[in-house]
Amino acid sequence: MSSYETSGRTASVSRKTNETDITLKFNVDGTGVSNLETDVPFLNHMLDLFTKHGHFDLHVQAKGDIEIDDHHTVEDIGICLGQTIREALGDKKGIKRYASVFVPMDEALAQVVIDMSNRPHFEYRAEYPSGQAGSFDTELVHEFLWKLALEARMTLHVIVHYGQNTHHMIEAVFKALGRALDEATSIDPRVTGVPSTKGVL
């Protein structure tokens, strides 16, 4: 069950299930400040990078059934973040809509392409040398990003072109995600109304 609050380009959501209890607040026009309290340290690190490089503000408090594994917590945070992005953007008037960003992290190179299309679609190409980044299951990167794209109702393509270190490769993804979302949601003064020939997104 989720409940929302929206003001300006900021939105918050509370979601409580039998598996997780999450409160998340997202500000599109932030300053890169994060306050992250989850039981998944690696995800905290990635969300901090996403927030810093996207110039957002992000507050997350999350408790989940990590005695089973991290899956439900990571997935539900992706759901909540996607929901707040969608709510914060409203009718999307004036936004650039599209973005394509490459980010290197030492030997790794990631690309993120976004269309704030209101047509959720996710493509993911990544082959990691290891199935774990520390204690974090790399399969959960896919789960997080897919639920984010679905709930934000955006088209999201993520490609890790190459890399040797799993941590570096995932870090490049989250930095690129932040920068691409920042660009796609930024206001273009040349755009009047919604950036679509249909007149609606």
- Calculate the alpha carbon distances from 138 to 73, 75, 174 in Å: 14, 13, 13
Asked, for residue 161, whether it belongs to a domain, the answer is: yes
Does any domain span residue 18?
yes
Instruction: Give the CATH number, domain containing residue 109.
Output: 3.30.230.40
Compute φ and ψ for 161, nearest 5 degrees: -70, -40
79 is written with which tokens? 């759901």
Low-confidence ranges of the chain (pLDDT < 50): none
Sheet architecture: strand order including 2-7: 2-7, 10-16, 20-27, 57-64, 33-37
Whole-model pTM: value is 0.95
**CB-CB contact of 125 with 133 (8 Å):** no
Does some domain include residue 2?
no
The confidence score (pLDDT) of residue 3 equals 65
CB 89, CB 123: distance < 8 Å = no
Strand partners, 3: 14
Q: Quick check: is 191 in a domain?
A: no
Tell me how many domains the chain contains.
1
Task: Say what the pLDDT of residue 198 is.
Answer: 84
Give phi and psi for 124, each to the nearest 5.
-140, 125
In a domain? residue 199: no
Query: What's the chain's length in residues?
Result: 201
Domain membership flag for residue 112: yes
pLDDT confidence of residue 197: 82
Residue 37 lies in a domain: yes
44: containing domain: 10-185
Separation of alpha carbons 77 and 62, rounded Å: 8
pLDDT digits (tens, 9 = 90+) for 92-146: 999 999 999 999 999 999 999 999 999 999 999 999 999 999 999 999 999 999 9
The answer to whether residue 200 is domain-embedded is: no
pLDDT of residue 2: 64
